[in-house]
Amino acid sequence: MKTVFPMKISVLACLFAACLLRLSAATYYFDYGSFHTAGVDMNLSETQSYWFADSSFSTPVENLDFLTSGGDNIAFVKPASTTANRVTLVFDMDVRVAGLDDASIAYSYFRMEPGKTFAVEGDAVLGNWSSAFYGASGGGGALSIQGNLTMTQSYALGNINNPLESLYVGGLTTLRTGTGEFVLCASGNGSHGIDEPDAIFAGGLTINVAQQRSVLLGAFNPDLAVNARSCVWVNGVNGYVGFSMGGNSSSSGVFNVVFTNLTNASSAGNLSMVNSAGTGRMNIVMRSSSSGGDGAYAYLNRTQSFTGDDMGFKGDVSCISGTLKLNYNATGADLAGRGNLILSRASGAETAAFGNSSDTVGGAFAFSSIEVSDGGGSIIVRLDSSDGSAVSYDCLSLENSVSGSGTVVIDLRNFNGNSPDEFIDIMIENDIALKVISWASAAEGGVEFVAADGYGVYNYGGRDYFFTANNAADGLYISYQIPEPAGWAAIFGVVAAAVAIRRRR
């Protein structure tokens, strides 16, 4: 018998006990209608008269112990006839509950005081139209939801003037209805870099309706200046989830969005800027990985795709592990002054790749430059042909050039991401060179462009053709060539290092 079996029994027993606890949990109800009618902001610790043990508000509670026990559910209920006064419930105490539901309330405002924690052990359903769960002026308060989070309409988890200190959601976060945005602003106390997240969506994000902006760093009012810095980790996004950087022309904030995908995910959402956003930046990082308690990362090879029709964000794109695909044919794909593509594959990562998510092969995605470091990375180039003699393909457009040192793999694929053999045949038959990257000057000498495994040497018609990357003044041209006799000596090393020769039969 395996020694882990008793542990499995123990784990099952714990899960069973947890289920029993949930089944026996009571639900306590807050009369938000009366609270709105009173129209006075109030501390949570002073609200005993608004709490009841039943949804009809007939059984008053004797104390507020249920707000800290962790074993009971709470619900905020407002009758439909209640007017929408703006009043704020101030969380001046730590809260720990089994579940949270305020789905029936529009215009609900919960404010976290600095240093206070609101912990939900299970699931949470937040708010109706124009509601917010935010920090005190200047920031404060930690919101932690171990289960799933559902938001029924436009909702703010922090805003630019009242950010949360931190946000954690262990389960799936879903915006269920509505066409507004989900405002996020968690400011934390760290550097807001990619290793110090202010918000973590450990179960990923999904939205089932097309959004105007969806996850927006800023505020519902896009005319405000957004100068905050924030970092969010997201374990994959699906549906229509998009990300935006908000703010007016004086904004200088930075929104670092790190995709930590444990599984493949695809969203029809956009990556965009709201108004001009000034000098604000939204940096996108692909780091498919799991993290341990020691801070180390176990790198994975998962993919995150965005197929939305707006890719007009300003900021860098970093590929550390996994694959990121953006829509080369979207509005804003050709945006000038966007930022750099950084290919920096981590040690132990299988790949760090960037490519096109569009169903249609072709288009050009613009960056200021490409920076290559560490393990380099891959650029996926899909190929297609409408007439069997010309080849269409995905490409990148740089305002400057490629710098750094390392290897960049040009990963050729067909239109649906599989074997490119049919189109390499066309390239050879018609002596075609593809300009897969355009730039203002040739790449630095420390950067090497190579083919993907198995495609360094390609056998066609009984002859070996070698992948050739021409680092020209105006761009990178790739082709398959039989070297001239004088070039054979230089090619011997390539042959010796090749893992396999691709043979076309």
Number of domains in the chain: 1
SS3 readout for 43-71: EHHHCHHHEECCCCCCCECCCCHHHCCCC
**Is 357 domain-assigned?**
yes
Which CA distances in Å does 67 have to 30, 71, 93, 117, 381?
Answer: 11, 9, 9, 12, 55
For residues 497 and 471, what is the distance between their CA atoms, to the nearest angstrom? 21
Sequence-distant (≥ 6) Cβ neighbours of residue 12 within 8 angstroms: none
DSSP state of 405: S
Buried residues in 220-239 as b, exposed as e (16+ CB within 10 A): bebebbbebbbbbbbbbbbb
Query: How far, rounded to the nearest angstrom, does the alpha carbon of residue 379 sit from its chain's CA centroid?
Result: 20
**Is 35 domain-assigned?**
yes
Q: Give the helix ranges, DSSP H, for 443-484.
A: none
DSSP state of 500: -
Tokens 């939204």 label which residue? 282
pLDDT of residue 11: 38
For residues 183 and 212, what is the distance between their CA atoms, to the nearest angstrom? 12
Sequence-distant (≥ 6) Cβ neighbours of residue 170 within 8 angstroms: 145, 146, 147, 202, 203
**Is 439 domain-assigned?**
yes
Tell me the residue range of the domain where 320 lies: 24-486
Tokens 């930075």 label which residue? 254
For residues 299 and 359, what is the distance between their CA atoms, to the nearest angstrom? 28
Asked if 65 and 74 touch (Cβ cutoff 8 Å), the reply is no
Query: How far, rounded to the nearest angstrom, does the alpha carbon of residue 64 sit from its chain's CA centroid?
Result: 38
Q: Which of 231, 235, 350, 344 is nearest to 284 (CA)?
A: 231
Ordered per-residue pLDDT tens for the chain, 505 residues: 333 323 333 334 444 444 444 456 899 999 988 998 888 999 999 999 999 999 999 999 999 999 999 999 999 987 655 556 678 999 999 999 999 998 767 677 899 999 999 999 999 998 765 678 888 887 889 999 999 998 877 778 888 888 999 999 999 998 765 555 678 888 776 778 899 999 999 999 998 777 656 788 877 677 788 888 899 999 999 998 999 988 888 999 999 999 999 999 999 999 999 877 789 999 999 999 998 766 789 999 999 999 999 999 999 999 999 999 999 999 999 999 999 999 999 999 999 999 999 999 999 999 999 999 999 999 999 999 999 999 999 999 999 999 999 999 999 999 999 999 999 999 999 999 999 999 999 999 999 999 999 999 999 999 999 999 999 999 999 999 998 765 544 444 444 444 445 655 4
pLDDT of residue 1: 33
**Is 497 domain-assigned?**
no
For residues 83 and 247, what is the distance between their CA atoms, to the nearest angstrom? 31
DSSP secondary structure string for all residues of 18-36: HHHHHHH--EEEEEHHHHH
Which CA distances in Å does 434 have to 288, 309, 468, 469, 471?
Answer: 30, 26, 11, 10, 12
Burial class (CB in 10 A: 0-12, 13-18, 19+), 10: exposed
**Is 474 domain-assigned?**
yes
**Is 119 domain-assigned?**
yes
Name residue 450's amino acid: V
For residues 423 and 413, what is the distance between their CA atoms, to the nearest angstrom? 9
pLDDT of residue 177: 58
Q: Which of 417, 303, 319, 306 is nearest to 375 (CA)?
A: 319
**Is 498 domain-assigned?**
no
pLDDT of residue 128: 64
* Assigned token pair, 426: 């066309």
> In degrees to the nearest 10, what's the CA dihedral of 236, 238, 241, 243?
30
48: left (phi over 0), alpha (psi -120 to 50) or beta: alpha
Sequence-distant (≥ 6) Cβ neighbours of residue 127 within 8 angstroms: 102, 103, 105, 106, 108, 133, 151, 152, 153, 155
* Assigned token pair, 164: 């949360």
Q: Strand 434-438 to strand 475-481: parallel, antiparallel, or no bridges (unpaired)? A: antiparallel
pLDDT of residue 503: 56
**Is 337 domain-assigned?**
yes
The pTM score is 0.90
